[in-house]
């Protein structure tokens, strides 16, 4: 695999977006900007959780990539390190790069090495003797990583995405296709419905099962529930650094989804110019979610009540902006679907 990183838009994209886009570009699929297409909102609570969590993802990657694009995603789990290494090498011998999630704590080339745990996504492209060649789009590193370092890094049990199994992911383009505007319209409609909270019982139960949760609120009211929880749980002067950092991460993930969805709409707007205004508004919303995320990050470092007030005001503004853009998006969907 060519170790040159592709020239792609990076604003708002995370390590997984960047790594997978590069991998699929190498495999010849140039429509990677349309892979990341979900943009929802839900507020979830598990048993014994007094605070809850706001999320934007409502589809697994397997469903998201298959929808419109026909790209197959397969994640393999292996408990035996030696078998894991053999399986990875078998893919690399077939010129099939793979994606792995690792702990930055165990990556010698990055600034967090032996300092902080955190889940991170990199691409493995080749293998020589007892080392692997990896591409890390975030830390701008292309080079060797020993099997020992990789094995240690694959243990992400101490990160926010804690799991005890060793995993890798590969992608098949056997059924891949060029995105069609008709199918992209239905994605717009799917996101609109979710943000309106209009999902059927089957979808509702699937989301509960996927997230292993007891309670769920789907749609824009998720923002209201988050604000209520913030006022109730976070407006006191006590050590809540971890809670604030979790909120920061959740809001940052939602910003990421809005950026990604705006790139999806940008592609659609090339064929249907009406969607250009919607694309720009989702890009602007992404920036607003990012601002909210930064306020939560500041609160995790040095909490002040003024930060909570500013975050509530920002979320209130975001709530109205979301409402307005959904209404316009729904109108555009109806207008264009009748022209097909």
> What pLDDT digit, counting tens, does each position of 104-133 carry?
999 999 999 999 999 999 999 999 888 999
Asked if 46 and 213 count as a contact pair (C-beta separation under 8 A), the reply is yes
57/41 Cα distance (integer angstroms): 7
Contact, 44 vs 291, CB < 8 A? no
Mean pLDDT of 201-205: 83
Can you tell me the distance from the alpha carbon of 48 to that of 70, in angstroms, rounded to the nearest whole number? 39
pLDDT tens-digit map of 232-277: 887 665 557 888 989 999 999 999 999 999 999 999 999 999 999 9
CB-based contact 117:107 (threshold 8 Å): no
Tell me the three-class secondary structure of 28-72, residue by residue: CCCCHHHCCCCCCCEEEECCCCCCCEEECCCCCHHHHHHCCCCCE
Identify whether the C-beta of residue 74 lies closer than 8 Å to the C-beta of residue 172: yes
- On the question of pLDDT at 4 being above 50, the answer is no
Query: 134: closest CA among 107, 170, 113, 158?
Result: 107
pLDDT band at 6 (very low <50, low <70, confident <90, very high): low
Confidence of residue 339 (pLDDT cuts 50, 70, 90): confident
What's the rounded Cα separation, in Å, for the pair 88 and 26? 18
Q: What is the 3-state secondary structure (H, E, C) of 109-126?
A: CCCCCCCCCCEEEEEEEE
Closest CA to 102 of 54, 147, 156: 156
What token pair was written down for 327?
């209404």
Q: What is the pLDDT of residue 78?
A: 86
CB-based contact 68:187 (threshold 8 Å): yes
Tokens of 335: 């207008």
DSSP, collapsed to helix, strand or coil, labels residue 79 as coil
pLDDT exceeds cutoff 50 at 160:
yes
Q: Which residues are 168's β-sheet partners?
A: 76
Give me the pLDDT at residue 8, please.
62
Q: pTM higher than 0.75 for the full model?
A: yes
- What are the pLDDT digits (tens) for 25-40? 989 999 999 999 999 9
Higher pLDDT, residue 123 or 203: 123
The mean-pLDDT minimum among 7-16, 69-78, 144-153, 312-321 falls in 7-16
**Which residues in 205-270 belong to E strands, given as ranges?**
215-218
Q: How far apart are CA 107 and CA 93, in angstroms?
A: 24
Taking residues 135-162, report their average pLDDT.
87
pLDDT over 50 at 47, yes or no: yes
Task: Tell me which of 4 and 24 has the higher pLDDT.
Answer: 24
**Neighbour-count burial of 212, counting CB atoms closer than 10 A to its CB (0-12 exposed, 13-18 middle, 19+ buried):** exposed
Q: pLDDT averaged over the chain?
A: 90
């Amino acid at each position: 695999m060519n170790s040159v990183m592709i020239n792609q838009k990076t604003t708002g994209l995370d390590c997984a977006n960047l790594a997978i886009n590069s991998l699929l570009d190498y495999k010849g699929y140039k429509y990677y900007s349309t892979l990341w297409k979900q943009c929802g909102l839900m507020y979830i609570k598990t048993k014994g959780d007094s605070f809850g969590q706001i999320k934007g993802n409502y589809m697994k990657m397997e469903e998201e990539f298959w929808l419109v694009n026909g790209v197959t995603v397969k994640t393999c789990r292996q408990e035996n390190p030696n078998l894991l290494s053999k399986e990875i090498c078998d893919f690399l011998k077939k010129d099939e790069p793979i994606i792995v999630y690792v702990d930055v704590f165990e990556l010698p080339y990055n600034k967090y090495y032996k300092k902080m745990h955190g889940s991170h996504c990199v691409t493995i492209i080749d293998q020589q003797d007892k080392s692997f060649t990896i591409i890390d789009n975030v830390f701008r590193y292309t080079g060797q990583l020993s099997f020992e370092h990789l094995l240690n890094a694959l243990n992400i049990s101490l990160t926010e995405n804690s799991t005890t199994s060793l995993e890798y992911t590969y992608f098949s383009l056997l059924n891949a296709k060029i995105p069609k505007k008709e199918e992209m319209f239905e994605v717009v409609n799917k996101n609109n419905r979710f943000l309106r909270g209009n999902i059927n019982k089957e979808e509702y139960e699937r989301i509960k099962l996927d997230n292993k949760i007891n309670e769920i609120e789907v749609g824009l009211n998720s923002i209201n529930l988050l604000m209520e929880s913030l006022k109730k749980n976070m407006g006191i002067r006590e050590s809540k650094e971890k809670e604030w950092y979790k909120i920061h991460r959740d809001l940052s993930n939602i910003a990421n989804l809005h950026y990604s969805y705006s790139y999806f709409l940008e592609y659609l707007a090339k064929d249907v110019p009406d969607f250009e205004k919607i694309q720009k508004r989702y890009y602007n919303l992404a920036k607003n979610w990012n601002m909210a995320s930064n306020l939560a990050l500041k609160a995790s470092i040095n909490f002040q009540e003024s930060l909570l007030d500013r975050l509530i005001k920002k979320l209130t503004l975001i709530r109205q902006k979301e409402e307005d853009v959904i209404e316009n998006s729904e109108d555009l969907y109806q207008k264009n679907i009748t022209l097909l």
